[in-house]
Structure 1
Amino acid sequence: MTPRHQRNLSRRKMLFALGGAAVAVPAVATIAPHALASQDGASASDALPVTVRNNSGAFDNTSVHLYVVGNLDGKQVRLTPDGNLAPVSLSDNQADGYTDYSLPLASSGETTLSLPYMSGRVYVSLGDKLKFKAVTDGNGDAALQYPAGWVASDPNYGVLHDCAEFTYNAAGMFCNTTMVDMFSVPMSIRLTGDQDQTTGTLRDGGRAAAFAAVKEIEDFARLVVDDTRVIAPGHGLDAGLFAADYFAPYIDEVWSTYTGKDLTVTTNAGTFTGRVRGERFTFDGPASVSFAKPTTRDVLFCDGSLAAPNDGTTGPVAAVLGAGLNRSTLLTDATQPATDAAAFYQAELTNHYARAMHAATQDGRAYGFAFDDVADFASYIQDTHPTGFTLTLSPF
C-alpha cells in the first residue's frame, strides 16, 4: 500500500469542520474524511454489507444508537434502516429541534446493514441518542450540525459517543477509526475483499490506559473529561485547556537547527532538501516550497503554516513536517519521514495525546493527529474490491 502522504489526494480538512473550534454549537459539516479515495482502480459492488457487533460489555444493543451520515454528489444524506440514502431535510427536525436519524441495532447479536456509495461517518452513541440538527447552509441547502464532543456547550457533550470515517465509491472502500478530534468509545473496523484487514482494536485495558497516560502529563491532564472522553489537544487549545505555546520551544529549536544543516524530505514527487532561510523553511527539489514558522495550533491541527494543498509538492512536504513535529523526530533524524515508531514521541515536548492513542492499540496504529497517516501509522485500511465492512464496539 502506498503511504498516504505519497498519494495525490486531498487531505482531510475536518476542521474542526465537524464542530468548529470554539463555537457553542457544531459547525455545519462538510464531510471530508481521512479516508478520501482516489478515483483510480476497479469498481466495487454497489451495496456493501455492513456488520455491527456490540462487544462493549457495558451496554446492551438497545442502548447503542447508530448513525450513518455524510455526503453524496455534494449533498448531505443519511442512511435509512432499509439501506437507502435519504437527503437531510429541515422537516426532519422534531419537536425538540433535532433529528432522529438513529439506526436500531438488532435486539441481540450482530446487526447487518447495506451501505450504498457515499462518504461520511458512522457514529455510535451509548446510552443517550445524539442530537443532530438540520439547518440551512450558506448555499441554502439542508445540512447537519454534527456533534462536537470537545465543546462544553454542545448538546452532545454529555453523551458517550464516537465515530469511524469512510469513503465508499466505485474505487472501493477507504476507512479509518479516528482520534483526531477526541477519543471516547473503543472500536475497531474490519474490511474484507482482496485482503482481510482489521485496525483500531485496543489492547486489553487500552481505553483506561489511554485516559491515564494523558492525565499523567501535566500539560495534557485537563483534556481528560471524567470517564467520558479525552479531547485532542488542538481542540483543548481552542477551549483554553491546553497551552497555546506548548510546542514553541521545540519549533524554535527545529528552526535553529536547520539554519545550519539540511533536512531531507522524500515524497512520491521526489526528494526535497530544505534549510531555514530568513525565518522560512525553504525546500528545493522537484519544486520550491517554503513554510513560515508554525504555531502550536498549526502543529496540532496540521493547518495554517502547515496546511497541505493537493498539489503533489507543498502538500506532501507539509504533511511530513507536521508529522515530524507531532512525533518530535525532526531533531533526531534529518531524513524524513522517520519510520521507526520506537523513536516517536520520545522528546519531553511531544504530542503525548497521540502517543497514548498509539500505545493503546494492538497494531500500534491510530489517527492521533491529521497527518498521522505519514509513513502509514494511521488506523486506516482500504480495499478496491470490498466484500464487507464490520464495525465492532470493543470491551471497555
Structure 2
Amino acid sequence: MITRRRMFASLAAAAVAGPGLALVAPRALGAAVPDGSGTAAAGALPLTIVNSTGEYANSSVYVYIVGNQDGRQVRVTPNGTLAPVSLSDNGADGYTDYAIPLAAGGETTLSLPYMSGRVYVALGSKLRFKAVTDGAGNAALQYPAGWVASDPNYDVLHDCAEFTYNSAGMFCNTTMVDMFSVPMAIRLTGAADQTTGWLVAGGRDKVFSAVRAVDAFAPLVVGDRRVIAPGHGLDAGLFAKDYLASYIDEAWSTYASRDLSVTTNAGTFIGRVSGGTLSFTGPASVSFAKPSTRDVLFCDGALAAPNDGRTGPVAAVLGAAFNRTTLVSTADQPTTDPASFYRTAVTNHYAKAVHAATADGKAYGFAFDDVADFASYVQDTAPTGIRLSLTPFS
C-alpha cells in the first residue's frame, strides 16, 4: 500500500531554493515522459472538479496538476496531456502559468495521466510557480509554501490534494500536514465507492476557532486564509520549540521502568529506555534517541521512518502516539480508540481540530496520521474516476 507517508517522502522532500521558496523534486512513479512540449499519457482517469465553496465562482477558481513521472518534473495541460516543466515556461513576470480554468458553470472534468503529484486549487487569484534548475541541473518547480510569509503565494487562498496514480491504481488523500485552508473532499470510484475529507457543517470555521482558542497555537491562524501546522509554525518562530518537552520527558521516564509494546506488520517490539535511548527487541533490534518537539511534529529526526519494514513502522507508531498524546497512558501501541486521542492539555491541538471537523473523523494532521487508519486517505487498484470537491466554507 502506498500510504501518505510514502507519498510525503517523495513529494515533500524539499530543498530551500531562495527566500521562503520550497523547491520540490518528487520521486517518480509510472512510465517515462517522452520528450516534447506535451504528450498523451497512460492512464486517462477522469478527474472531476466540483466547486461547492459557496464563496467563489468557477471563474475565480484555478487548478494546477503538478508533480513528476519517471524522475522528471511534469504538469498536466488543460487538454489532459503531460508536459515536462521547462525554464522557458516562466513568463515576463518570472513565473509559469500552469493554471487550468474551471468550466463556466457546473462541474469540470479533466483527464489525469499516470503520475505522482498534487492537485492545487487557488481561489480568487492565480498561484505563482517558478521553474528553476535543481541541484542535478534539471528543470523543477518551486512549490507554494503558504506557511512562509515571504513566499509569493502567501496571500493567495490555496490548498492541495496529493495522489500517486499508476498501473497499480490510485492512491490519494486530502492533506493538512502543512496547513489547512480550503476544505476539500475526495470521492474515488472503481472496485469500491469511497469518500474522505468531508467536513461537518461549519467545519472550516470550527478548525480556525479551535486552534485560535489555544494560546500556544493561536499564532498559527493567518487571518481567514489558513491555519499553519505547528511544525512550520515552530520554524517560523510562531510556536514554542519546547512545547512538547514535558510530555516527551514523561514518556521517557515512564518507559525507563516499564515495557512499551509496539505492534507492526512485522510483529511486536518490546522497548525500554536506558541511557537516554529507547531500545526495542523483537523481530529486529531498533532504537530511538529522545525526540524533540520538532521531531514529533514533523515525524522526522529521531522519529524518521525509513522504508525498511522494521525501524520505519515502529517510528510511525511512536510518532502517532506522541502527536495523539497516548504514549504515556497506554503501554500497548498503537492505540485505536479515537476517544483516547488528544486528551492531555499539552497535545497537538492542530491535529485535534482538523480531526474533530471531519465527518468521518479522518484527517492528515501530521505525517504519521495513517497509523491505525485515521488518515483522510483512499486507494483503489481498479479506479474508474476521482472527484475532488471544494466543499462549503461555512
* Kept after mapping to 2: 8 A contact 1:4/1:376: no
SS of the counterpart of 2:378?
strand
Aligned residues: 382
CA distance in 1, matches of 2:146, 2:78: 25
Q: Deviations over 1:20-64 (max 9, x none)?
A: 5x962322102369xx99xxxxxxx82101100000010000000
Task: Provide the C-alpha distance between the structure 2 equivalents of 1:11 and 1:120, rounded to a whole number of angstroms.
Answer: 8
Equivalent position to 2:181, from 173, 181, 184: 184
Contact 2:26 2:67 in 1 (8 A): yes
Q: Any residues of structure 2 matched to 1:136-175 within 5 Å, and which?
A: 136-175=133-172
Counterparts of 1:367 and 1:275 in 2: how far apart (Å)? Answer: 29
Partner of residue 132, structure 2: 135
Q: Which of 365, 376, 381 is residue 378 of structure 2 equivalent to?
A: 381
Q: Which residue is equivalent to 1:26?
A: 21
2:39: which partner in 1?
Answer: none
- The residue type equivalent to 1:218 in the other structure is D
Q: Report Cα offsets for 1:124-143 as digits up to 9, x if no partner.
A: 00001000000000111000
Cα distance, 1:16–1:81 mapped onto 2, change above 3 Å: closer
- Map 1:307-318 → 2, pairs under 5 A: 307-318=304-315
CA deviation profile, 1:155-196 (whole Å, cap 9, x unmatched): 000000000000000000000000000000011011000110
Structure 2 counterpart of 1:237, which letter? L
Distance in 2 of aligned mates of 1:394 and 1:19: 32
Q: Which has the higher contact order (CA 8 A, sep 6+)?
A: 1
Task: State the Cα deviation string for residues 285-339 of structure 1 (Å, max 9, x = none).
Answer: 0000000000000000000000000100000000000000000001111100000
Cα distance, 1:12 vs structure 2: 2.3
Residue segments in structure 1 that go unaligned for 5+ positions in a row: 38-44
* TM-score normalised to structure 1 length: 0.93
Asked whether 1:61 is paired with 2:95, we answer: no
**Partner AA of 1:29 in structure 2:** V
Report the CA distance between 1:376 and its aligned residue.
0.5
Q: Would you say the 8 A contact 1:10–1:309 is kept in 2? A: no
Say if 1:23 and 1:221 are closer, same or farther in 2 by CA, change over 3 A. farther
Query: How far apart are residue 13 of structure 1 and its match?
Result: 2.5
Amino acid paired to 1:376? D
Task: Tell me if the contact between 1:23 and 1:151 (Cα under 8 Å) persists in the aligned partners.
Answer: no
SS of 1:13's equivalent in the other structure is helix
| Partner secondary structure for residue 254 of structure 1 | helix
- AA paired with 1:31? P
2:37 matched residue in structure 1: none
2:110 aligned with 1:110? no
Partner of 2:94: 97
Alignment of 1:111-126 (within 5 A): 111-126=108-123
- Aligned partner of 2:33 in structure 1 is none
Give me the identity figure in percent. Answer: 70
CA distance in 1, matches of 2:11, 2:216: 23
Match in the other structure for 2:9: 13
Report the secondary structure of 1:219's partner residue.
Answer: coil
SS at match of 1:311: coil
Q: Residue 28 of structure 1 aligns to a residue in which SS?
A: strand
Contact 2:260 2:271 (C-alpha < 8 Å) held by counterparts? yes
Q: Pick the aligned partner of 2:81 from 49, 74, 84.
A: 84
Deviation at 1:16, TM superposition (A): 5.7
CA–CA separation in structure 2 for the residues paired with 1:23 and 1:216:
34
2:46–2:386: 8 Å Cα contact kept in structure 1?
Answer: yes
CA distance in 2, matches of 1:194, 1:92: 39
What is the 5 A alignment of 1:1-396? 10=6, 12-13=8-9, 17-18=13-14, 20=16, 24-31=19-26, 46-396=43-393
Contact 1:3 1:373 survives alignment (8 Å): no
CA displacement 1:342-381 (0-9 Å, x = unmatched): 1000011110000000001000000000000000000000
Question: Paired residue for 1:40?
Answer: none
Does the CA contact (< 8 Å) of 1:18 and 1:146 recur in 2? no
Give the whole-Å Cα distance in 2 for the aligned partners of 1:11 and 1:146.
Answer: 16
Distance 2:141 2:18 in 1: 15
Verify the 8 A CA contact 1:192 1:386 in the aligned structure 2.
yes
For residue 17 of structure 1, report the CA deviation from its aligned partner. Answer: 3.5
Report SS of the residue matched to 1:162: strand
User: Unmatched 5+ residue regions in structure 2?
Assistant: 31-41
Give secondary structure in 2 for the equivalent of 1:107.
Answer: coil
Whole-angstrom CA distance in 2 between matches of 1:379 and 1:19 = 26
Q: After TM superposition, where is structure 1 displaced by more than 3 Å over at least 4 residues in a row? A: 2-5, 14-20
Deviations 1:87-122 (A, max 9, x none): 000000000000000001100000001111000000
Question: Which residue identity is paired with 2:26?
Answer: I
Alpha carbon RMSD of aligned pairs, Å?
Answer: 1.8
1:323/1:209 CA distance change after superposition, 3 Å: same
